[in-house]
Chain A
Amino acid sequence: MSDYQMLREAHTIQSLRDFINDNAVRPCTIMEVCGTHTMSIARWGIKTMLPDQIRLVSGPGCPVCVTDASMMGTAFSLAQKPGIIFTCFGDMLRVPAGDKSLLQLKSSGSDIRIVLSPMDALQLAVENPEREVVFFAVGFETTAPLTAATINLANQKQITNFSILCAHKTMPAAIKALLPGSAVDALICPGHVAVITGCKKFQFVAEILKRPAAVAGFEPFDILLAIAYLIKDIKENAAHLYNCYPRAVDDNGNITAQEIIDQVFMPADGIWRGLGLIKDSCLSLRDEYSDFDAVKKFAPEPVSISDNPACMCSAILRGESSPEDCQLFDKQCTPEHPVGACMVSAEGSCAATYKYMRRKAK
């Protein structure tokens, strides 16, 4: 049996379930901040394996969901400019803002292409010297090094028809903004981000915010192991940081990746859909790379699309409200016409609740 299969083995899983059941002594809310955790929890039915006292809520860790409406507006402007090949990751296509999405623009003729990596976008620029290629750079510390390496290469090779619309965000700043005063008792920290940043970067959750935290991988075993540690801390009124993903994460992370992020980007304030402006939570290109900034290069018309004020994503992301509390839920806001962040991703809190509720009503 491979290690990989071991992580999905029923009896290993059962012993973790037993431990969690025995130690869940009071109602508590555990937040997973990473979109891939949210996907994995849904994929493996992990909520159905936990005692009722444990509530799992999804935090703002899906980079697609937290890209705000005005950033999407800028993307729409750029994508509609003649001569531009606009490239992005596949799941950005469906993100709504106002009455538009990139998918709709693609349907109506804009040259929008899905790429799997910013390097693919750079290659498109090399192959199409008469066109301008813009890459919509979205993601956390996990994808930012790739974008930085791509910019670095474009700079070295003096490729001038390539630029990025930078919407990169960093995770710790968002957690610092979100957690204080929230109903969240403990945090499952993002394993992929920690591979880059190192485990230590999340020490503040335990030390300063006084919440137990566990860096977790994405197999059901990893997630249940993290929950087991968190439940134990909650029971003992303790707050530690646990590295439950030691096969990929160490204390200090990937220094090379951190250095290239620092070389190309600097921290900037930025807006998160559902959470608003968070200081130093985003990345912007350093001045010496500003030739690669699509906003500076093309000066797209500023588009003001504001989030619907009735949307309760913010409270839902903080674990304070449930999707059904929101007056837009299942009315204006559905998976086909999402208004807020939690409905955008198929596995967001609102989208999942919507599906399950509809089934019950049938």
Chain B
Amino acid sequence: MNDKHITLAYGSGGDKYHQLVKEVFVPAFANPYLQSLSDSALCSIDNKKIAMTTDSFVIKPLFFPGGDIGRVAVCGTVNDLAMSGARPLFLTTGMIIEAGFPVDELKTICRSMAAAAAEANVVIVAGDTKVVDKGECDGIFINTAGVGIFELPQELSPALVEPGDVIIASGEIGTHGMAVMTARHNLDFSPPIASDVAPLNSLVAKMLAVSGAVKLLRDPTRGGIASTLNEWADDIDMSIEIVENNVPISPTVHAACDLLGVDPFYSANEGKLLAIVDAGMAQEVLNVMQEHPLGEKSAIIGQVTEDKPRGVYARTSIGSKRIVMTINGEQLPRIC
């Protein structure tokens, strides 16, 4: 790392974030579980495998159309467990609260966490609270950690992926990022863009029931689908080609992205997943997804290819092909 100090760019899930993880955290904590750098670690105890994960949530504004920081904190951790193929069971939460924070808002956030946990069929079994001086944190920061049990015959792994496998998206992408960005900048869209934040574990369970079909799962949060696809291309050492016209994007999100000069491929999701699926079983997986309320708009958006140079490409609606790059730093509204 060339920087002497951490900047916001290190937190946005792009190149800098990966540099931080690979150069600071991995060497410090080196162990076999950490090596895969997946959303959850699969740890063996006797002949059982448990999945563990943790995530911290810092969102401005705390409340936005479609959700709040509490709902995101529960769903984020549930989804990280689910993406490893595990069944989420127990969560803990830690809260760092700024002095002066309204109790009513705290209660609202907790109710929202409880509702999300019930929806995901998990329980919040332990917690911790710290209160800091005014100005030392922005309202409230929430951490959640989670444990799940892994019961599949085989771990989901980049090693399973072959050229020709297809990429499925579970619905309209980019919604959460644009919901938060439009709320942050007080842009009134009609209808307002509501976050997609939702627990995906029941959808994942249906997908995994199609035996051996799903090879990798990821919830494309920070950095959007572009970041997830680029990470996958690196992990599988193959290319990925997306057909832009097949990527579900709501017209309102499209309009908001055009207005703010951001690309929906880089906009965060909190209730969508991407899957790499065996081509022969893709239709069957797609059918079960479309029958689930959180997967009604699922679509095959691309496939794994052997194109060189390795990377992520998008086939545009006008017939050209472009590189879909990883993001550097936080996505910011542009003027030019």
Which residues of B have CB within 8 Å of A89? Answer: 333-335
- Does B322 belong to the interface (CB within 8 Å)? yes
Q: List 27 A-B contacts (CB under 8 A).
A: A10-B318, A10-B319, A34-B336, A42-B322, A43-B263, A43-B322, A44-B318, A44-B322, A45-B320, A63-B336, A64-B334, A91-B334, A94-B329, A103-B9, A103-B329, A104-B5, A107-B6, A116-B187, A138-B335, A143-B335, A220-B316, A220-B318, A220-B320, A335-B15, A346-B325, A355-B325, A359-B323
Q: Is B320's CB under 8 angstroms from A64's CB?
A: no
Tell me, rounded to whole Å, the shortest Cβ–Cβ distance linking A36 to chain B.
6
Q: How far is the CB of A362 from chain B (nearest CB, A)?
A: 5
A9 to B311, CA, bound (A): 26
Interchain CA distance A43-B323 in the complex, whole Å: 9
Closest CB in chain A relative to B334 CB, distance in Å? 5
Residues A38-97 near B (CB distance < 8 A): 39, 42-46, 48-49, 61-64, 89-91, 93-94
A315 to B308, CA, bound (A): 31
Contacts of A107 in B (CB 8 A): 5-8
Quick one: which of A42, A48, A61, A336 contacts B321, CB cutoff 8 A?
Answer: A48
CA A93 – CA B317 in complex, angstroms?
32
> Count of A-B contacts with CB under 8 A?
108
Compute how far the CA of A139 lies from the CA of B334 in the bound complex, rounded to whole angstroms: 11
Whether B322 and A337, one on each chain, are in contact in the complex, defined by CB atoms closer than 8 angstroms, is no
Interface size on A, residues (CB 8 A): 48
Do A116 and B260 have beta carbons less than 8 Å apart?
A: yes
Which residues of B pack against A, CB within 8 Å?
A: 2, 5-9, 15-16, 185, 187, 260-261, 263, 309-311, 314, 316-323, 325, 328-329, 332-336
Question: In the complex, which residue of chain A has the Cβ closest to the Cβ of B332?
Answer: A90
Are B318 and A8 in contact, CB atoms less than 8 angstroms apart?
yes
Across the interface, do A114 and B309 meet the contact criterion of CB distance under 8 Å?
Answer: no
Interface SS majority for chain B: loop
- The reply to whether the CB of A217 lies closer than 8 angstroms to some CB of chain B is no
Question: Does A13 sit within 8 A of B, measured CB to CB?
Answer: yes
Contact B335 A139 (CB under 8 A): yes
Q: Is the CB of A44 within 8 A of B320?
A: yes
Query: Bound complex: CA of A349 vs CA of B211, how far in Å?
Result: 47
| Interface: A14 (CB within 8 A) | yes
* Chain B CB within 8 A of A106 CB: yes
Residue of B nearest to A34 (CB): B336
Known: A8-B318, A44-B318. A90 touches B2 (CB 8 A): no
Q: A63-B336, A91-B334, A91-B336 are in contact. List 9 more A-B contacts (CB 8 A).
A: A44-B318, A46-B320, A90-B335, A94-B9, A103-B9, A103-B329, A114-B185, A116-B260, A355-B325
In the complex, chain B residues whose CB is within 8 Å of the CB of A157:
none
Does A247 count as interface, using CB distance less than 8 angstroms?
no
* A61, B185: Cβ atoms closer than 8 Å: no
A91 contacts B332, C-beta separation under 8 Å: yes
State in angstroms the CA–CA spacing of A120 and B185 once bound together. Answer: 9
Minimal Cβ-Cβ distance residue in A for B19 = A336
Contact flag A44-B316 (CB < 8 Å), given A63-B335, A90-B332, A116-B333: yes
